[in-house]
Amino acid sequence: MEKEAVSLLSTLGHPQRLLVWRLLMRRYPQPVSAGEIAEATGLKASTLSVYLSALRQAGLIGQERQGTSLLYRAEIGTANDLLDYLFADCCRGRPALCLTGGADHFPLAPEGSAAMADRKLNVLFICTGNSARSIFAEALVRHLAGDRFNAYSAGTHPAGTPNPFAVKLLADKGIATEGLRSKDVNEFQGPDAPKMDFVFTVCDQAANEECPAWDGQPISAHWGMPDPARATGTDAEKALAFQAAYGTLLNRLRAFAALPVESLDRISLQSAVDEIALDETGAAEA
C-alpha cells in the first residue's frame, strides 16, 4: 500500500485537485456533472478535465455516463484504504495519536452505543434558504421520532421565513409547525450550540459550499433534491413540487427513524444513511 499511498497523497497534494475531490466527497453518494463541478469550483472546463483525469487515474473518483452527460462520484473505498493505511502505519493503530480526544470524540463510536440509549440524539438538516426542504425534515423528524431525536434545520443563506407553501403542506398533513423558523447555519456552530450527532445536507448548493468541520465529528450525509421553492407556474403546479419534496423526505426519514442506531457501529451507520440517499422511492408519498 505504500506506493499507492504516495500516489494518492501526491494527487491530493495539488490544491485544486483537492478542491474537486472534496466537493465530490461532500456530494457522495450522488454523482455530479462536470458542468456543475466547474460552476461550483470556478475552474475552466479544460483545466477541470485535466484534474478529473488525474483523480480518476489515481482511483479517487469514478466516471459514469447518463445519456450524453458524464458524471463523477467519489470512490469511498479508495479513501478508506488510504485512511486505514495512515491509521495503521503512521498512528500505529492508536486513536489518541491521530484522532483528537480518541474514541470519545466520536459520539457514535461503538464504545458509546450503550450510552446512546440514555439520551436523545441531535440531527441537523441544512439547505440554502432553510425555507422548505430542511424545514420539512426538521418537522418530520419531530413528528416521526421526536422521542429519540432533537431535530434542527438551518440555511447557508437563510430566506428569513419558512416558505408559506411548505408550512401549509405540513399543516394539511397534521404535522406541527409551531416554532419553525429560518435560521443561519452559524447558529449551530458556536460554543453554546447543541453538539450534533447527525448532519444532513438536503440541497446540492449547500453541499457544494465550504463549511467548517463540525465539532464532535457527527455522521454526515448528502440527501440532495430539487428546491421546490424554485418551482414556477400556477399555485397548483408549485404545490406539486412541494409535495414531491415532502414525499421524498418522508420516505427517507421513515427509513432513518427505523435504523437501530444504538446497535450499529459508526461505519455501518454511515453506510446506512448513505444508502438512504440512493433510494428514490420517496418521490411520491405513500
The catalytic site residues sit at 127, 203, 211
The model's confidence at residue 106, banded by pLDDT at 50, 70 and 90, is very low
Average the pLDDT over 76-99 and give the result: 72
14-55 confidence digits (pLDDT tens): 999 999 999 999 999 899 999 999 999 999 999 999 999 999
pLDDT at position 81:
87
Average the pLDDT over 64-90 and give the result: 86
The model's confidence at residue 99, banded by pLDDT at 50, 70 and 90, is low
47-56 confidence digits (pLDDT tens): 999 999 999 9
Predicted confidence (pLDDT) at residue 91 exceeds the cutoff of 70:
no
Average the pLDDT over 69-98 and give the result: 77
What is the Cβ-side half-sphere exposure of residue 6, based on CA atoms within 13 angstroms?
A: 2
Listed range (143-157, 171-185, 206-220, 250-264) with the worst mean pLDDT: 206-220
CA–CA distance, 37 with 202 (Å, rounded to integer)? 18
122-154 confidence digits (pLDDT tens): 999 999 999 999 999 999 999 999 999 999 999
Provide long-range contacts, Cβ within 8 A and 24+ apart, for 187-192: 187/154, 188/124, 188/152, 188/154, 189/214, 189/215
pTM score, whole prediction: 0.79
220-269 confidence digits (pLDDT tens): 999 999 999 999 999 999 999 999 999 999 999 999 999 999 888 888 99
Angle between helices 235-257 and 133-145 (to 10 degrees): 40
**Hey, what domains does the chain have and what are their CATH numbers?**
2-77 (1.10.10.10), 102-283 (3.40.50.2300)
